[in-house]
Amino acid sequence: MKQVENPESIPLEKEIIEPQLNILLTTDEDDERPVYISGNFNQWKTQDLKFQMSQIGVGLYHYKFAADFVYPQEMLYKFTRGDWSEVEIDKFGNRTENRSCKQHKGIRKEHVAKWRHNWLPFKTDYLPKVHLISEEFEIPQLNKKRKVWALLPYDYENSSEHYPVMYLQDAQNLFNENAQFGNWEIDKKLAVMAEYKIGKIIVIAIEHAEKERISEYNVGNTILGVGQGKKYIRFLTDTLKPFIDSNFRTKPEREFTGIGGSSMGGLVSIFSGIMYPEVFGKLMIFSPSLWVVPKIKLSFLDMDEPQDTRIYMYAGGDESATMIDHVKNFKKRLLKKDEVNDKMKVHLSINEQGKHNEVYWSDEFPKAIEWLFFSTKEE
């Protein structure tokens, strides 16, 4: 760990002692990520360039409020590294309360002991309740049986709330500590989000078909041949969703219903939204296998009255030579028509160093859930 400079030893330039309020921040954990101030003065935006702090030393940051800044009666704020998954925490890894300030001038010295990273660490009290719905859930459309799980909010049994629902593919890799290639740790991420009073949703996790996974997630006649994806999607919409809505306290409307997955699971989730836009209003698409069907038909864009839809897409630069180009082109096609552009919100997250694996999808999961279900950002 780098040696953090003592703010008392740093000469304050003239600009720091001007009448405006100045914040001088020290942190015990210094890294390359920028620091932002997020508060009740900017709708708690976590990556607002107008409130990015200047690094003036090792572990030392400075921010001067503009002369025309309109101060709230009580300014509430937190420091982040640009996302709620990277917000300040105390030295024990606990959530910190909002900082409060009524100063309008002078210097305010603050300190951050640690930063949360990728929504971790988590508290076990907030872990979702993992419920095995069935070892052998009937899939009549495919004449198969499958293991299906529900992750319920930690306080589900003591609540009368109804919750949004996210249907996710590849359950084997979502929260299984013994998964061969690692897992998304969605249980841990949901625990931290619940601690911050966001992210209380029901996740329905459907296990994939092992050796028949690609065929089951392959929709129509593609580069991979004829798949069973349309039958699988009908299972989700005609069989599984009605069962979930009848047996759990859900918000069944499309604006509270999402579907998502990665790779081929991301591709079948795209087709689910295309075929059944009246069912799914949120799509979480990670590293989709768009190469399988490069001329994918976006038939749901031809509806007489397009419905409000939010799509969170992620791609890594170290996945393949074409991954980023595919998702960028797909977004461009989605938003080509003005009438669709007004209704559809697409957030594209690119990690140039991202690889095609669970570690990177795990990192995106809480960000996607927050943006899809709990954010009012119009990006």
Q: Report, as an integer, the average pLDDT of 14-38.
A: 83
Q: What is each CA distance from 85 to 33, 190, 246, 325, 370, in whole angstroms?
A: 13, 11, 33, 27, 10
Kindly tell me if the per-residue pLDDT of 1 is higher than 50: no
Q: Class of the 7-115 domain?
A: mainly beta
Domains 7-115 and 124-374 agree in fold: no
Instruction: Give dist(CA 339, CA 355) in Å, integer.
Output: 35
Q: What number is the average pLDDT over the span 128-152?
A: 97
Cα–Cα distance list, 137 to 164, 236, 252, 304, 373 (Å):
22, 12, 20, 36, 28
Q: Residue 107 above 90 pLDDT?
A: yes
Q: Where are the domains positioned within the chain? A: 7-115, 124-374
CA distances from 14 to 11, 20, 62, 145, 236 (A): 9, 12, 13, 72, 64
Query: When comparing pLDDT for 322 and 11, which is higher?
Result: 322
> Which residues lie below 8 Å from residue 213, measured CB to CB, with a gap of 6+?
170, 264
**Would the pLDDT of 46 be above 70?**
yes
Model confidence band, residue 25 (pLDDT cutoffs 50, 70, 90): very high
Q: What CATH architecture is 124-374?
A: 3-Layer(aba) Sandwich (3.40)
pLDDT at residue 19, rounded to an integer: 77
Residue 184's pLDDT band (boundaries 50, 70, 90)? very high
Which single residue is written with the structure tokens 């799914």? 280
**pLDDT value of residue 197:** 81
Q: Which range, 227-241, 307-321, 354-368, is most confident? A: 227-241
Distance CA 156, CA 225 (A): 43
Judge residue 147's burial from the number of C-beta atoms within 10 Å of its C-beta, 0-12 exposed, 13-18 middle, 19 or more buried: middle
Question: Which tens digits make up the pLDDT trace of 266-306?
Answer: 999 999 998 899 999 999 999 999 988 877 766 555 545 56
Say if CB 340 and CB 299 are below 8 A apart: no
Confidence band for 333, pLDDT divided at 50, 70 and 90:
confident
Instruction: Note the pTM of the prediction, 2 decimals.
Output: 0.80
